[in-house]
Structure 1
């Protein structure tokens, strides 16, 4: 009886080993595929950067103007719903941020013509005569935290990612107004496109 149990255990273990081996192979194939895709993307990025480097200053300016126009047009099509502002100052900060839609992202800048994410939010609140900290991590602790997306109001800060490295302004209708990343412009984006952590009411 004991021998039978041992043999059954061995069969189970052999089956588990085989399943684990198959999963490992799948994982290895996936990793190889991801590596290939990453190389393709890096190649395309390098080609795009090379092409960008060949443009004259005039051509770059024309391209930037087109991007700004596109971002503004896209912003006009966004349905923000009828969410009310968290306060008068939140409404003023949000209106200020709306006025710079289409401005380029620039790391370390807080306006008036280029912004990084927390640069945009701190600049917007400064236009409403409210001083908030400069970085997204510090802004995460600058007011009352709101953990439910449904409780967010226009002008609330919205903190993204576990390390709180990104921030935007809630725009209503499930949209956030933010300066996304290098190479992008200040624009609206669905709040669901990034890992939401919580809101902050100033």
Structure 2
């Protein structure tokens, strides 16, 4: 039978780390964790927007009406097909607002909106490592309309779907 004294000697010694080394590792870990995530948006109501509630509703109805339209890279009309930014540009133009042409520009356009303040007609921006590569128009109930890919059509998707939820960068609204 072993006694408590023998058991203490049988355990391996805990490694020691000086405080400066621990602080450096902690800081590096925090910075690395922040670098890949979406930007932090304050949980405050967005500023008033040029897009009225009526325009946002019109954009939503039009976007839903375009579901099934062919995808075409660089496309920006129902007859010629849409890519994701062309779809947004077309819908917003019909609602009386001009948008940038590319997703990258759209990801910086307008104002960021905290998730608790999103409304129909706002943009959902997707990408990886903070680089925007796709966008859609929010239509309510956690859904968005977008032009997903070559060979596809404008479709309705859920923000909570694994693919989209893991790539959501944030939300934008016109100023």
Partner of 2:83: 116
TM-score (norm 1): 0.55
Task: State the secondary structure of the residue aligned to 1:137.
Answer: helix
**CA offset digits 1:115-171 (Å, max 9, x no partner):** 0001100100011121111111111122110142x3211000110013111000011
Cα distance in 1 for partners of 2:157, 2:109 equals: 23
Instruction: Verify: 1:152 aligned to 2:118, yes or no.
Output: yes
Q: Is the 8 A contact 1:86 1:201 kept in 2?
A: no
How far is the alpha carbon of 1:86 from its aligned partner?
Answer: 6.5
Task: State the secondary structure of the residue aligned to 2:151.
Answer: coil
Superposed, which structure 2 residues align to 1:1-202 within 5 Å? 87-113=53-79, 114-148=81-115, 150-161=116-127, 162-193=130-161, 194=164, 195-202=167-174
Cα distance in 2 for partners of 1:86, 1:166 equals: 24
Cα distance in 1 for partners of 2:78, 2:96 equals: 15
Q: Which has the higher strand share?
A: 2
Against the structure 1 CA distance between its residues 188 and 86, is the aligned structure 2 distance closer, same or farther, given a 3 Å change threshold? farther
Q: Is the 8 A contact 1:176 1:190 kept in 2?
A: yes
Task: State the secondary structure of the residue aligned to 1:94.
Answer: helix
Partner of 1:70: none
How far is the alpha carbon of 1:192 from its aligned partner?
Answer: 2.5
What is the CA RMSD across the aligned residues, in angstroms? 2.1
TM-score (norm 2): 0.63
Q: Which has the higher helix share?
A: 1
Q: Is the 8 A contact 1:160 1:198 kept in 2?
A: yes
**CA offset digits 1:81-116 (Å, max 9, x no partner):** xxxx97222212222212211001111111123100
**Structure 1 residue ranges (4+ consecutive) displaced by more than 2 angstroms after TM superposition:** none
Q: Is the 8 A contact 2:136 2:144 kept in 1?
A: yes
How far is the alpha carbon of 1:191 from its aligned partner?
Answer: 0.9
Cα distance in 1 for partners of 2:106, 2:58 equals: 18
Q: Is the 8 A contact 1:147 1:197 kept in 2?
A: no
